[in-house]
Structure 1
Amino acid sequence: MTFLESFLGALTLNAGYNTAVVSIGAALLGAASGAVGAFVLLRKRSLVSDAMSHATLPGVVIGFLAGVWLLGDGRSLPLLLAGAALTAGIGMISVDWIKANTRLTEDTAIGTVLSTFFALGMVLLTVLQSLATAGQAGLSGFLLGSTSGMLSSEAMTIAIAAGVVALIVLALFKEFALLCFDEDFAGSTGLGVRRLDIALLTLLLAVVVIGLKTVGLVLVIALTIIPPVAARFWTERVSRFVPISAAIGAAGSYAGACLSASAPDLPTGALIVLILFALFVISMLVSPVRGLLSALLRHRRFQKIVHLRQGLLAVAHDEPILEPITRKLLIRRGYVSGDMRPTEAGWSAARRIDRDQALWNLWREEYPDEAHALADWSLKPIDEVLSPDMVADLETRLAPHDAARAAGGAA
């Protein structure tokens, strides 16, 4: 079987029961991580997950030693995850305590906790490797992630835990959204802001811990950061932002797990992160809301409107047109001939734009506050922006101006 056939088989859940369970579990993990990460990003606490992930390493070693002592086998996933949750929780509390009780900023606290706990974990891992204990090689999977040797029971545990996290996020959706956008108002309505903050960080802790086996502690932070950052390009509304983030996390994790199943020698975590990054690049480029290509197209349309309008105003006032882009646009629209002489359509359009601009100028004089608040107020026809009554009133006020200008020209 070729690699492509193996990969397509994994994508369509035809590569065996264990691979299917692992892939579905990874997708649920990605969805939960994307949903939680969306709120964490809005809360501006994304880097806390980095401290949590690195703080899990000593806990994994402690969980392994506890498994050897209690069960005779240190590779018990529940004990490994429990140990990781314990030290990650301590790391989270440490960051919060340093931020609240010292003059250090949160990023400094995160760096301190991250480096300290990871160093402690490396020391414990080195000590563990010097002991005559079997099963130590399995711990390397917690660094970069590994699904190739994951049991179906382990995958089921991860899937159930991720599903529970996703359901909690869904249940607290409105409360988390209010916390992220208006903390003071949330407190005034009776919501416990501190409790909600702790709940959000606890859910973040949960996805970090349950993602260790799949993505690894080094790269699990990507599951909570890349999906919401990619989703941010697609929408301006939180009601769509969180589901899109969850969908991107699920798609990237599912594809990465399937790819890892087809190429078991490659690290699962790295494959998932690379696919998520590819989705981020696609979102950044082609999103119609905030993508680079759409921004470029909007800029080009804006540029054409400005050049065309200024060119027609120049025609109306019999002024020379020197800008190459303006000349090209006027010729292309048939408003001027090749020697820059206005056509009948050009004169008609020029008079219409000149009249429109005069109305806009009068509106700016009469209502300066409204004009200041309205962006690009003169680049659209005035009757598309202001009410018909307002336009009619401006037309009435403009008549004396026209009469005075005509009298001055005759004199």
Structure 2
Amino acid sequence: MEILAPLFLQAGYNTALVTIGAALLGASAGAIGSFVLLRKRALVSDAISHATLPGLALAFIAMVWLTGEGRSLPGLMLGSALTAGLGLLAVDWLTRRTRLAEDAAIGAVLSVFFGFGVVLMTVIQTLNTGEQAGLAGYLLGSTAGMLRSEAELIAVAAGVTGAAIFALRRPFTLVCFDPEYAGGRGYPTGRVDLALMGLLLAVTVIGLKVAGLVLIVALTITPPVTARLWTDRPGQMVVIAALLGAAAAWIGTAISASGEGLPTGALIVLVAFALFVISLLLSPKRGLLAGLIRQRRFQTLVHERQGLLAILRNEPIYDSLTLRRLKARGWLRADGQVTPEGLSAARRAEADAARWQLYRQSHPAEAELLSGRMMEPMARVLPPDLLAELDSRLALAAAKRGEAL
């Protein structure tokens, strides 16, 4: 298969360098995207990516006018960074100085900057130069024909950005979850936020050639969203998102290198989406399959609990699933008679039902959090001291009822 050579870095030095650079970019995008997602500012990456277009076009025009060579990657990245920074400042100013919400400010900045960029791209098409055709690769990403110097620049820049994200991971995490606490610990929250947005901007600009300005935003959002399906811990989420981003970029770039005319950015995004779908189905925490298994298990426990309570109350059991479960657990014989084990289990079920009722009354907030486990034995859910307290209160209540009789 043609994809195997670039996938295992056997398709030449330049292709291997591009693939490694793309993987470093994907890892950086996934890591910084995790903090942006936790900060609830994911839409900002969309504004930054679209705000790079006018800078890209202006840098091309300026370089053609000054040197006659318009496709110098460092110059294009510098121009893109300048207008992306202006777009970020515009969003911040509109959010702080006007009544516009952040999403409305992002929409305004995104549309204006991108519209201006489209106009400039149209102007570029009228220039008397043959280099403007290559600019299309910056919209959807293209690694075909990438120079060795460009690949090295992308790889080094992505590596440095990733190192900066690792160095700032602690203040980023604190500001994402509790800015006031971070400020109390001496972290300048404003500067930390600025550094977060600056690194997001850097990843966006670095990824122009690989993923394209239209699709780089997906590389900063999809891996963190996918990682969120696998863990609740922010540190683990950042690592998983970085690995997923690297894998998506590596595989997407390898597929793009295996054939002609395959857009790199689109393939990277499709691979990232495929990883998301797989995680959505198979994640043990939030996956659809795990959810169906948990739901089925909960239903089974409900049938068992209701069947045991019916046994203790001498009530007839008509539900076929309940009967099957009680017989499978050895609590009913084949003829429907209760076994000694079934009678003991029924008494434990009655005691747990009384405990849960008392626990819901005395600890309503905690009971709400544990509602999904209310069919499990109380000894598996609550600590022994709290269980003993509930039993003591139940025994005292039973004694008072006995005195009243």
- Shorter chain as denominator, the TM-score bin is over 0.9
1:397 positional shift: 6.0
* Aligned mates of 2:167, 2:393 — CA distance in 1: 57
- Paired residues of 2:229 and 2:286 also in contact (CA < 8 A): yes
Task: Kindly indicate whether residue 363 of structure 2 is the aligned counterpart of residue 370 of structure 1.
Answer: yes
Q: Give the 3-state SS of the residue equivalent to 2:128 in structure 1.
A: coil
Matched residue, 1:387: 384
Matched residue, 1:398: 395
Q: Give the 3-state SS of the residue equivalent to 1:334 in structure 2.
A: coil
**What is the identity, as a one-letter code, of the residue corresponding to 2:398?**
H
1:400 positional shift: 8.1
Task: Kindly indicate whether residue 98 of structure 2 is the aligned counterpart of residue 102 of structure 1.
Answer: yes
Matched residue, 1:263: 259
1:51 positional shift: 1.1
TM-score by length of 2: 0.93
* Aligned mates of 1:114, 1:358 — CA distance in 2: 58
Matched residue, 1:279: 275
Matched residue, 1:308: 304
- Paired residues of 2:352 and 2:377 also in contact (CA < 8 A): yes
Aligned partner (choices 328, 344, 351) of residue 348 of structure 1: 344
1:288 positional shift: 1.1
Q: Are residues 309 and 200 of structure 1, via their aligned partners in 2, closer, same or farther at CA, if it must alter by over 3 Å?
A: same
* Aligned mates of 1:192, 1:388 — CA distance in 2: 43
1:145 positional shift: 0.5
Matched residue, 1:220: 216
* Aligned mates of 1:102, 1:323 — CA distance in 2: 63
1:171 positional shift: 0.6
Q: Give the 3-state SS of the residue equivalent to 1:212 in structure 2.
A: coil
Q: Are residues 399 and 168 of structure 1, via their aligned partners in 2, closer, same or farther at CA, if it must alter by over 3 Å?
A: closer
Where does 1:15-94 land on structure 2 (aligned, <5 Å)? 15-94=11-90
1:298 positional shift: 1.6
1:114 positional shift: 1.0
1:170-207 per-position Cα deviation (integer Å, ceiling 9, x unaligned): 11110000000001111122211111111100101111
1:23 positional shift: 0.2
1:357 positional shift: 3.6
- Paired residues of 1:383 and 1:391 also in contact (CA < 8 A): no
Higher alpha-carbon deviation: 390-399 or 326-335: 390-399
Q: CA RMSD in A?
A: 2.3
Q: Give the 3-state SS of the residue equivalent to 1:214 in structure 2.
A: coil
Matched residue, 1:118: 114
Q: Percent identity?
A: 53
1:309 positional shift: 1.2
**What is the identity, as a one-letter code, of the residue corresponding to 2:391?**
L
* Aligned mates of 1:324, 1:184 — CA distance in 2: 57
**What is the identity, as a one-letter code, of the residue corresponding to 1:391?**
A
* Aligned mates of 1:237, 1:338 — CA distance in 2: 48
Higher alpha-carbon deviation: 79-88 or 318-327: 318-327
Q: Give the 3-state SS of the residue equivalent to 1:149 in structure 2.
A: coil
* Aligned mates of 1:154, 1:51 — CA distance in 2: 25
* Aligned mates of 1:297, 1:406 — CA distance in 2: 47
1:244 positional shift: 0.5
Task: Kindly indicate whether residue 202 of structure 2 is the aligned counterpart of residue 206 of structure 1.
Answer: yes
* Aligned mates of 2:207, 2:127 — CA distance in 1: 27
Q: Are residues 388 and 188 of structure 1, via their aligned partners in 2, closer, same or farther at CA, if it must alter by over 3 Å?
A: closer
Aligned partner (choices 134, 137, 143) of residue 141 of structure 1: 137
1:332 positional shift: 2.4
1:284 positional shift: 1.1
1:344-367 per-position Cα deviation (integer Å, ceiling 9, x unaligned): 332232233234444555x54xx9
Aligned partner (choices 290, 293, 296) of residue 289 of structure 2: 293
1:287-329 per-position Cα deviation (integer Å, ceiling 9, x unaligned): 1122121122122222222221121011011012233432231
1:396 positional shift: 9.0
**What is the identity, as a one-letter code, of the residue corresponding to 1:123?**
V
1:331 positional shift: 2.6
Higher alpha-carbon deviation: 328-337 or 237-246: 328-337
Higher alpha-carbon deviation: 105-114 or 345-354: 345-354
Matched residue, 2:232: 236
* Aligned mates of 2:364, 2:83 — CA distance in 1: 57
Q: Are residues 360 and 192 of structure 1, via their aligned partners in 2, closer, same or farther at CA, if it must alter by over 3 Å?
A: closer
Higher alpha-carbon deviation: 397-406 or 83-92: 397-406
1:102 positional shift: 1.2
Q: Give the 3-state SS of the residue equivalent to 1:47 in structure 2.
A: helix
* Aligned mates of 2:219, 2:42 — CA distance in 1: 11
- Paired residues of 1:50 and 1:221 also in contact (CA < 8 A): yes
**What is the identity, as a one-letter code, of the residue corresponding to 1:379?**
M
Matched residue, 1:191: 187
- Paired residues of 1:66 and 1:79 also in contact (CA < 8 A): no
- Paired residues of 1:311 and 1:330 also in contact (CA < 8 A): yes
Q: Give the 3-state SS of the residue equivalent to 1:217 in structure 2.
A: coil
- Paired residues of 2:21 and 2:155 also in contact (CA < 8 A): yes
Q: Are residues 383 and 391 of structure 1, via their aligned partners in 2, closer, same or farther at CA, if it must alter by over 3 Å?
A: farther
* Aligned mates of 1:382, 1:56 — CA distance in 2: 57
Q: Are residues 24 and 292 of structure 1, via their aligned partners in 2, closer, same or farther at CA, if it must alter by over 3 Å?
A: same
Higher alpha-carbon deviation: 151-160 or 396-405: 396-405
* Aligned mates of 2:207, 2:342 — CA distance in 1: 65
Which structure 2 segments of 5+ residues have no match? none
